[in-house]
């Protein structure tokens, strides 16, 4: 009886591997490694743009403009969504540093103080936070785009060595 379970487990692994390969083929369909690396790099930087709700719209426009794989870009964007929240304060601080404005510490007390001052004050101050985070995002994108592109190109080259040529 254990032999039957072993056969079933092997069959399950083979079926899962075939399914996963078909999904990966779908996402890289009709694209070279360079184009995949460019679309993943663009998606990475668009996904961390510090303006909530704009990532999917920007990814849609980018994929249409350059004729990249929209499904891959949206999937990758949703996987990177937590980075948008995680990078907001560091991007804001970097934006303030780049623009020469004084740095303030953003903490739960700061947010509580803004909430207690009223909604109008909160949205005005959050608007400034978002503005400086956007400046930081632009600066980081210009600095790191080439390196992130090279990383994705290297990763794709190593990942798809055994697959059929483009």
76-94 pLDDT tens trace: 899 999 998 889 888 888 8
The pLDDT, as a whole number, for residue 77 is: 92
Reported pTM: 0.72
Compute the distance between CA of residue 77 and CA of residue 13 in angstroms, rounded to an integer.
28
Mean pLDDT of the chain: 82
The pLDDT tens digits for 108-131 are 677 777 778 888 877 888 888 889
Compute the distance between CA of residue 76 and CA of residue 40 in angstroms, rounded to an integer.
7
Closest C-alpha among 6, 4, 63, 1 to residue 35: 63
Alpha helix positions (H), 67-118? 70-86, 88-99, 108-116
What's the average model confidence in pLDDT over 68-79?
Answer: 88
Closest C-alpha among 28, 54, 59 to residue 42: 59
């Amino acid at each position: 009886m254990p032999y039957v379970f072993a056969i079933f487990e092997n069959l399950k692994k083979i079926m899962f591997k075939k399914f996963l390969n078909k999904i990966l083929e779908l996402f890289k369909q009709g694209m070279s490694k360079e184009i995949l690396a460019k679309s993943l790099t663009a998606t990475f930087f668009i996904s961390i743009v510090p303006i909530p709700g704009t990532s999917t719209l920007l990814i849609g426009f980018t994929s249409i403009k350059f004729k990249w794989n929209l499904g891959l870009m949206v999937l990758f964007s949703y996987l990177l969504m937590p980075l948008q929240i995680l990078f907001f304060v560091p991007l804001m601080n970097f934006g303030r540093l780049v623009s020469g404005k004084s740095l303030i510490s953003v903490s739960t007390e700061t947010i509580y103080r803004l909430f207690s001052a009223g909604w109008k004050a909160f949205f005005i101050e959050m608007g400034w936070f978002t503005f400086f985070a956007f400046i930081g995002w632009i600066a980081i994108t210009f600095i790191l785009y080439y390196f992130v592109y090279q990383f994705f190109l290297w990763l794709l080259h190593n990942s798809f060595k055994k697959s059929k040529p483009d």
